[in-house]
Amino acid sequence: MERPRARVAIVGATGYTGAELLRLLLQHPSVTVTALYAREKLTPRVSTVLPALTGLCDLPIEPFDADDVARRADVAFCALPHGASIACVEALLARGLRVLDLSADFRLRDASVYKTWYGAEHAAPARLPEAVYGLPELHREKIRATRLVAVPGCYPTASTLPLLPLLAAGMVRPERIVIHALSGVSGAGRTPAPSTHFPETGEGARNYKVAGTHRHTPEIEQVLGDVIGAAPTVTFTPTLAPMTRGILSTQYADLAREGVTVEAMVAEARRYFAGSPSVAVLDPGVLPDTLWVRGSNRAMVGYAVDARAGRVVAMGVIDNLVKGASGQAVQCMNLMLGEDEGEGLRGAGMFP
Ligand SMILES: NC(=O)c1ccc[n+]([C@@H]2O[C@H](COP(=O)([O-])OP(=O)(O)OC[C@H]3O[C@@H](n4cnc5c(N)ncnc54)[C@H](OP(=O)(O)O)[C@@H]3O)[C@@H](O)[C@H]2O)c1
């Protein structure tokens, strides 16, 4: 007998990740989107604020009301700014929903680390032990069993996936990892700001929040710590690049011993990601390009060895709005619902 389709709501449906969730979920074979919520952009028809959905979805955008969500949905995605998400997630969990939170509010397990990096006491620290970090390639079984997924950040996804197999196999040392990642401007969300205005981003590139000040730094360290047992300290430099979507992350780590080859790393990564529908490991000599994953839930990882320096150059590309946010959230939802992990997410990127 066919399973009934799960009813899905999106809170924060008018933003970039909300729009991407809608694009993916409207094509998903085993769910129905039943309700959309936002704060200010309320409208009788979603296509007023997301014209790309004209003719595809006629739902209204309504003010968030947890009781209303509970009546109309089994699963809720919260695509809200950090800080604003906590009360929403709390209210939905209390009403028995399964929740996937795209903000950073439930990603860091330690409330004091959250306070240090996000500048406020966590409003629901008792929930933190319940939240599972939604990187399926690392926590697949825990995601299947939880009611609350903290969907990873875009930089942490692109920056940790290539390192996971190498650290797990002891091929590289965790002590002096350096990460440099380029992001497209949609990573900053839909609200216009001078720093993301086209004339000030269209033809230039700039670093920001360097030298251990970007909020994704402790998240990256937490993920790597899950593999090696204790969180390492990393140097992370983000760069705003003149593209709409995409992250290219390059990680440098000392080889654990002489003679570790690219071929061995690629073979190890292929073993590690066997059965992961969203990660492709590139052949030695192939360097990943954000254009190969644009619009898809795929991550591509590649490796090179700098034998002179005794370091690996590991590389990962994702679309920040898909594998870096909404697609990864849908991947986790599939696991929570007992569906095939890649359901609704199998398409290739839009090249070029
Ligand atoms: N953009 C990315 O690449 C990316 C990647 C990974 C994770 N994330 C995370 O995902 C979340 C959403 O990001 P986004 O880029 O989609 O943001 P966005 O484009 O700015 O959209 C934010 C959404 O939240 C609603 N909202 C804003 N402030 C609110 C408040 N105080 N209370 C309730 N609702 C509020 C907005 O509704 P109105 O339009 O009605 O104000 C809008 O629907 C953020 O936490 C972000 O850090 C983003």
The neighbouring-strand residues paired with 252 are 178, 313
CA 155 vs. chain centroid, Å, equals 8
Tokens of 177: 């990892």
Cα–Cα distance measured from residue 241 to residue 202, given in angstroms and rounded to the nearest whole number? 8
Ligand 1 pocket check for 347: Cβ under 6 Å: no
Neighbours of 90 (CB within 10 A): 18
Ligand 1 pocket check for 40: Cβ under 6 Å: yes
Question: Mean pLDDT for each 10-residue chunk of the chain (352 residues)?
Answer: 87 97 97 96 95 95 97 98 95 97 97 95 95 98 98 98 98 97 95 91 95 96 96 97 97 95 97 97 98 98 96 98 98 97 95 90
- Closest protein CA for atom 21 of ligand 1: 15
What domains lie within the chain, and their CATH numbers?
6-152+324-336 (3.40.50.720), 156-320 (3.30.360.10)
Nearest to 78 by CA among 68, 90, 95: 90
Tokens of 243: 């593209």
Ligand 1 pocket check for 25: Cβ under 6 Å: no
Listed in sequence order, the residues at least 6 apart from 324 whose beta carbon sits closer than 8 Å to its beta carbon are 152, 153, 154, 155, 157, 158, 187, 247, 318
Compute, in angstroms, the gap from residue 15 CA to the centroid of ligand 1. 5
Ligand 1 pocket check for 321: Cβ under 6 Å: yes
Distances (CA, A) of 165 to 4, 54, 139, 266, 274: 37, 43, 14, 9, 11
Q: Which atom of ligand 1 is nearest to the CA of 153?
A: 6
Amino acid at site 126: A
Nearest to 335 by CA among 21, 27, 75: 75
Residues designated as active site:
154
Cα–Cα distance measured from residue 192 to residue 248, given in angstroms and rounded to the nearest whole number? 23
Distances (CA, A) of 343 to 153, 187, 277, 330, 339: 21, 25, 9, 9, 7
Ligand 1 pocket check for 83: Cβ under 6 Å: no
Compute, in angstroms, the gap from residue 81 CA to the centroid of ligand 1. 5
Are 76 and 18 a contacting pair, CB within 8 Å?
A: no
- Closest protein CA for atom 3 of ligand 1: 187
Compute, in angstroms, the gap from residue 189 CA to the centroid of ligand 1. 6
pTM, full prediction: 0.96
CA 251 vs. chain centroid, Å, equals 18
pLDDT at 1: 62
Phi, psi of 227 (to 5 degrees): -90, -40
Neighbours of 102 (CB within 10 A): 31
Compute, in angstroms, the gap from residue 85 CA to the centroid of ligand 1. 9
Are 162 and 224 a contacting pair, CB within 8 Å?
A: no
Compute, in angstroms, the gap from residue 190 CA to the centroid of ligand 1. 8
The pick from 16, 77, 160, 195 for probing ligand 1's pocket by mutation, whose C-beta has the most ligand atoms within 8 angstroms, reads 16
Q: Which atom of ligand 1 is nearest to the CA of 11?
A: 43
pLDDT at 265: 98
